[in-house]
Structure 1
């Protein structure tokens, strides 16, 4: 494909090259590549189950060692709340109280979460505010029927002359109602971070946000700072970053030709959350905890979450200590055959990293496999929640390693692959702690450890026309495919995402 002068200028302004754009177009022509899963990772075969004694030991180790390292919490928070309120938007468009009852609408929709919403509406953290605004905006509220009142409250929650919650970043939607304040997910992440990332009275937290939302987060912090810092006795260093425009990807039409807008410009789209590997790469800290913006708990149930965060952190620090010991031994030379065997056993039994060769690995090969970023990932028993799963995967070079795999990456047309996928017992709640530096304190270039073959093509539209979009390898699957990985089971109680507004009515989001 040839680009004209105007195209080249547009490409260069994004900080990328025409060569990279052409490589992206070749991926569209190639199509999605499926992974080769050899086994589902299960307890004892890729996933560790930590008993109470070991859990306490790992927590103690983390608490004793944490202050020797730089630690930060990283929260992807660029998502809008639009999808969270989708069912309510549908209701305002489709429900007419003059022609049917709310009960009839709910029965017809079959949406259990919407039923829960109206059954327990008064328990929502923003209900009192919404009711007050509704009555202010509609002086005849008291004269309306019960169904009409409910519809007006829903519109107040959603619309610009009301609370306009669906227009907010999800991180700034009120999640929890306490006796003296209401807390957003943003605030709950700060309160949680105090318990495991603070060092010498300072907690570092990094939020990736949509570029137009940074000021909204900053204003929220101004509003709550005094109260939060007084309650936690900790100072916060809060950082924000955006998805870099150079990680945007070209879109193509159905013929895999560059998609052009009405203005005859090339059309680029954000490259998905996998593009955030670049945001991670810019951090200077060594130990990074990663957790999604909507996965928070109330302050009265936070201790369980914090204990398992510290446990994962302890597992990471212990493993990294052993890796550093082995690397020093290998780089010093004069290593014995028994020591080589010990290190190779560690790779196979602790990191589940297996070569297709039956030969012993050389010292240089062992160094290459050990000297990588390390991540410890919490895994939750699968109870029907959506999410990627832990698998043992064989790459194109025949090496088997632990990977987090999304359903779309699996070849379900292959009976063996589909059967292996069904054997998965756990899923990925995005509960990850990483080490981004080697034992010399040098930062890894995380781009070197991405598997570009795990990019994903999705069907989208623009200006009413179909297009194909390219999402970069996902942050915790293809983006970390060449990292060393450990999976550890964590209880389902540590996973409390808010995907719909009705999730705020679950017990875990109702302060006692």
Structure 2
């Protein structure tokens, strides 16, 4: 499969040879599709909080969170270049006719509504230009170039987290600043401290650190709390080997084997390094102005309260089983598994001995727990909530991405189309066991839920492999609770013109 020289090269790069060989086998054999049993729905896998339930969740969270170490984990890697794909295309055409370019036309028409408008004007004035003059002369490429290129604001190569998203009377905020403000609302934990962790690209970390250093003192004064900010980068050791169409290692012109970043599933390693009682996960670009933050903050605390309540019940059940295996302790564990966690027992459970039932429930309960917000499916891409049958016959809740499913199978396609909700990367995680020890999260990943994609480099076709996605395959063997949250809590920014939507103004 690999030559001796290639094995030496892989070892020199610090990669695990056994893992690389396994990755090549995955290319050859492919990944089996995730076989879904049913779509989760309200009342069958997805909880709907009424007013009384929501109030109880919030009271639970407010009572218990101050003594917990809470971290807000924000994937923020990568440049925002995809946000500006249409504007880059406009520059390549180098034209001034907007009649055939509706996207750029809207961008130019609404220019004054963007939070970076004043910065763009200042940049143009430094060279004796102005937005007004450029608009009058229909010199639209000048405006776009000054926004995107290094001789201007350089937005084309900056990460999303450092772009100005929202305008306020006292200035404009970046997504990083908005996550500070959000964190103050629901992630204030032990030691009067708000802990934020950003995963960043190596080339951007210095800029993130400078931005945080600039805003942190004012944020601490505003919220009368300490902000503990940390960063990590996707580990090089999580890169996966690329292969050619014949599944042989893709060798570059310099003779080196090509390794590629393995998608957001690689961030499981970063998540695994976090020491906390509760970890909220939310993408960098899913932030809104203060005027509509309340629903987000409310439901973040609500899912936190649900997790703390479920965790308390799980811990009590496991402690009871440790103390003595009786009908009562097994019934307690069974009630938590099917009630608090909402999982479904295998048909063989009732024929098990008392000891076998205890072992089964102990193995099921002693796992990381996550509570995932689910929004109604409006056609946005995202993982859907499904029931999946485990090898032992039990049914568990999992998030399945479209790429994991066999949509050529009519039965699977029909189940997929019944899905009414999707997960907008809105999670809170409990990663410690009932004895206070951190779980090794890598042990709860399903390695057979990776992805294979086709790419090209230097005019040559290649196949790339992504690790199981962070909130689907990487958490396949967690205990999952799904809760409907309002659609207003999901407002991603995929293109620059998304910032023109009312929710971002």
TM class, shorter-chain normalised? over 0.9
What are the equivalent positions in structure 2 for 1:192-231 lying under 5 Å apart? Answer: 192-199=182-189, 200-231=191-222
Match of 1:411 in 2: 406
Match of 1:124 in 2: 114
**TM-score when scaled to structure 1?**
0.93
Match of 1:475 in 2: 470
Q: 1:184 aligns with which of 159, 174, 197?
A: 174
What are the equivalent positions in structure 2 for 1:158-307 lying under 5 Å apart? Answer: 158-199=148-189, 200-307=191-298
Deviates more, 1:40-49 or 1:173-182: 173-182
Once the two structures are TM-superposed, the CA of residue 505 in structure 1 deviates from its matched residue by 1.2
Give the match's secondary structure for 2:247.
Answer: coil
Match of 1:20 in 2: 19
* Change beyond 3 A, Cα 1:120–1:366: same
Query: Is residue 361 of structure 2 the alignment partner of residue 366 of structure 1?
Result: yes
**TM-score when scaled to structure 2?**
0.95
Between the aligned partners of 2:345 and 2:4, the Cα distance in structure 1 is 46
Between the aligned partners of 2:222 and 2:123, the Cα distance in structure 1 is 30
Between the aligned partners of 1:145 and 1:123, the Cα distance in structure 2 is 15
Give the match's secondary structure for 2:165.
Answer: strand
Once the two structures are TM-superposed, the CA of residue 138 in structure 1 deviates from its matched residue by 5.4
* Change beyond 3 A, Cα 1:340–1:139: closer
Match of 1:441 in 2: 436
CA contact (8 A) 1:125 1:182 kept: yes
1:95-115 Cα offsets, whole Å, 9 max, x none, are: 512xxx312332xxxx5xx45
Q: How many residues align?
A: 499
Once the two structures are TM-superposed, the CA of residue 222 in structure 1 deviates from its matched residue by 1.9
Match of 1:91 in 2: 90
CA contact (8 A) 1:251 1:467 kept: yes
* Change beyond 3 A, Cα 1:460–1:119: same
Q: 1:102 aligns with which of 98, 105, 116?
A: 98
Between the aligned partners of 2:484 and 2:159, the Cα distance in structure 1 is 31
CA contact (8 A) 1:14 1:245 kept: no
Query: Is residue 398 of structure 2 the alignment partner of residue 399 of structure 1?
Result: no
- Mark the runs of 5 or more structure 2 residues left unpaired by the alignment: 351-355
CA contact (8 A) 2:299 2:485 kept: yes
What are the equivalent positions in structure 2 for 1:325-344 lying under 5 Å apart? Answer: 325-336=316-327, 338-344=328-334
Between the aligned partners of 1:143 and 1:365, the Cα distance in structure 2 is 73
Between the aligned partners of 1:37 and 1:466, the Cα distance in structure 2 is 32
Once the two structures are TM-superposed, the CA of residue 14 in structure 1 deviates from its matched residue by 4.1
Give the match's secondary structure for 2:375.
Answer: strand
Match of 2:139 in 1: 149
Between the aligned partners of 2:260 and 2:223, the Cα distance in structure 1 is 40
Between the aligned partners of 1:300 and 1:105, the Cα distance in structure 2 is 33
- After superposition, the CA RMSD in angstroms is 1.8
Between the aligned partners of 1:160 and 1:216, the Cα distance in structure 2 is 14
* Change beyond 3 A, Cα 1:343–1:224: same
Deviates more, 1:483-492 or 1:378-387: 378-387
Query: Is residue 317 of structure 2 the alignment partner of residue 317 of structure 1?
Result: no
Once the two structures are TM-superposed, the CA of residue 140 in structure 1 deviates from its matched residue by 8.5
Match of 2:3 in 1: 3
Give the match's secondary structure for 2:406.
Answer: coil
Query: Is residue 488 of structure 2 the alignment partner of residue 489 of structure 1?
Result: no
Between the aligned partners of 1:315 and 1:351, the Cα distance in structure 2 is 10
1:338-388 Cα offsets, whole Å, 9 max, x none, are: 542443243234434334442335211110000000000000011122211
Between the aligned partners of 2:20 and 2:263, the Cα distance in structure 1 is 16
* Change beyond 3 A, Cα 1:240–1:144: closer
Give the match's secondary structure for 2:497.
Answer: helix
Between the aligned partners of 1:285 and 1:141, the Cα distance in structure 2 is 48
1:473-504 Cα offsets, whole Å, 9 max, x none, are: 00000000000000000001111111111111
Once the two structures are TM-superposed, the CA of residue 79 in structure 1 deviates from its matched residue by 2.5
Between the aligned partners of 2:282 and 2:135, the Cα distance in structure 1 is 43
Between the aligned partners of 1:315 and 1:341, the Cα distance in structure 2 is 21
* Change beyond 3 A, Cα 1:255–1:156: same
Once the two structures are TM-superposed, the CA of residue 397 in structure 1 deviates from its matched residue by 4.7
Give the match's secondary structure for 2:126.
Answer: helix
